[in-house]
């Protein structure tokens, strides 16, 4: 079983949980089943760290509505991401 941490949980945790890149791609040629379950806050929620942040983790609060719209809009291969200004990256190496 694989559990992926998303960008909003990374932000809420102040960088203690690190978001992982994730997509369902089966390159094995064998049968595989995926049962995704996504939890997204209401669109009017502003996500900000709930605890003191990990050293080096500096992220601006993120409004869920605009970010969710951009994530769903760019789920299609031909969609080009817009520069929304939201920093959803992880801790620098």
Question: Where do the domains of the chain lie?
Answer: 1-21+36-88
pLDDT digits (tens, 9 = 90+) for 43-65: 999 999 999 999 999 888 989 88
In angstroms, the Cα distances linking 76 to 37, 41, 47, 73, 85 are 19, 22, 25, 7, 21
> Average pLDDT, whole number, for the chain?
80
pTM of the model: 0.66
Locus of tokens 């920093």: 87
Supply angle C-alpha 70, 90, 55, rounded to 5. 135
Residue 92 pLDDT: 47
């Amino acid at each position: 079983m694989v559990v992926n941490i998303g960008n909003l949980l990374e932000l809420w945790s102040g960088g203690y949980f690190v978001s992982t890149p994730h997509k369902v791609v089966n390159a094995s040629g064998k049968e595989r089943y995926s049962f995704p379950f996504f939890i997204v806050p209401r669109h009017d929620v502003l996500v900000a760290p709930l605890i003191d942040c990990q050293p080096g983790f500096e992220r601006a609060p993120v409004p869920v509505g605009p970010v969710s719209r951009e994530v769903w809009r760019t789920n299609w291969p031909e969609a080009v991401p817009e520069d929304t200004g939201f920093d959803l990256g992880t801790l620098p190496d």
